[in-house]
Amino acid sequence: MTTLVGLDLTGRRVLVVGGGQVAARRLPALVAASARVVVVTEVATTEVAALAATGRVELVERRVVEADVDGAWLVHTCTGDAVVDAQVARWAEQRRTFCVVASRSEAGSARFPATTTTGDVVVGVTSAGAPDPRRAAGLRDAIADLLLTGALSARRHRAGGTLAPGSVALVGGGPGDPDLMTVRARSLLAQADVVVADRLGPTSVLSELGDEVEVVHVGKSPGAHQVPQGEIEEILVRHARAGRRVVRLKGGDPFLFGRGGEEVLACRRAGVPVTVVPGVTTAVAAPALGGIPVTHRGTADRVHVVNGHGDLRPADLAALASTDTTVVVLMGVAGLARLSAQATAAGVDPATPAAVVSHAGLPQQRTVRARLDQIARVCAEEGVRSPGVVVVGGVAREDLLVPDLAAGPPDGPVEAHRTRELVGAPA
């Protein structure tokens, strides 16, 4: 019966016989495992030769001989010639060296499993009986999906790991749809002991956390700051100093109007290790999900991002008056009437197209479009509330692209129709 064994190949000699496509697929993983890889082949593909040129593998261009197997901890023969592969396997067997045979896996003493990696966890799937690579790959992909969504926890219960005890990870969660989180964000979240979460972003993932994970809600709403910023920073430092793995989960990207820089500085001042995971920023994602490209050839080739909590500045007004610039206002729905009045009073064309994409990436997402001087009134009439992203400029025209592009069922007729419209849109 075949079993899975995690081999530590660091610094150990691994012999690969053959330099074709199979070798090209296997070599990166062996190199990543810090093995001392020797490739013996009469003909090497461009990929294998390029890897050898970097010095990460040793390339010997000749026919394999028995002495090549000497000193190897693992042999992988993939010449494409069953006779040669079988001979190499016999040489390895005589030396009690495990051997993977690509042309006939049951003839070897080892198999490469179908693997997936999440953070510092490697999952391998192989067949116990007759080899069935397609089945193994299918199971691997199913497990990878569960790990990626958090349905299968990769949280550590021993010391060590990607997210070390007594540290903080500042994680950008994107606009709200958990599917738009990065793989690294999901991996670190699965390892957390404490999650300090905002009101916005992919908050639905919090329900997937284990009961042993402490969740601290510090979300802020317009005009109602539940937890002061200084106290948020104290929470991060306190939990990290207690030896916990802390994830600070923020919506969008933590360094774009997210006060992420302040939190990093607070951790550094306290001597707490901190890392930052960029997120998909709502400044680009929300308009995109609403069918609005922030740049479009012949319409806009510049983007100006504004914090909607304050008044418009001269640079903001100049961007709004420019016909080739898209202005994206974050956190601006509550002050939309004030901002639009300031812009038109300063001479910005009141007929400039504007749009608001609210709850981007969530089931209740909607997009409202109107002229700049009417957008606040239309949003009020439509009952549009925060959170929302305001887009001003030619890209917000109703006829430019298509309605909302928020991902629905991948095979659904509406989504297919929207895709065809997008592809057929003029350049």
Q: Are 93 and 104 in contact (CB under 8 A)?
A: no
Instruction: Determine how β-strand 57-61 pairs with β-strand 74-77.
Output: unpaired
Beta-sheet strand order (sheet of 274-277): 214-217, 194-197, 245-250, 167-172, 274-277
Instruction: Determine how β-strand 167-172 pairs with β-strand 245-250.
Output: parallel
Q: Are 374 and 387 in contact (CB under 8 A)?
A: no
Shortest CA distance to 291 belongs to which of 350, 353, 366, 363? 366
198 is known as an active-site residue? yes
| Cα separation, 206 vs 247, whole angstroms | 12
What are the structure tokens assigned to 341, written together? 């009045």
Point out the catalytic residue in the list 68, 85, 177, 198: 198
| Cα separation, 68 vs 216, whole angstroms | 58
Point out the catalytic residue in the list 81, 132, 220, 349: 220
Which residues are paired to 272 by β-bridges? none
| Cα separation, 132 vs 276, whole angstroms | 40
Q: Are 25 and 86 in contact (CB under 8 A)?
A: no
220 is known as an active-site residue? yes
DSSP conformational letter for 222: T
What are the structure tokens assigned to 320, written together? 């709004």
Q: Are 296 and 395 in contact (CB under 8 A)?
A: yes
Q: How many residues does the chain have?
A: 427
Q: Are 10 and 33 in contact (CB under 8 A)?
A: yes
| Cα separation, 394 vs 400, whole angstroms | 8
Which residue bears the tokens 């956390």?
Answer: 209
Instruction: Give me the active site residues, please.
Output: 198, 220
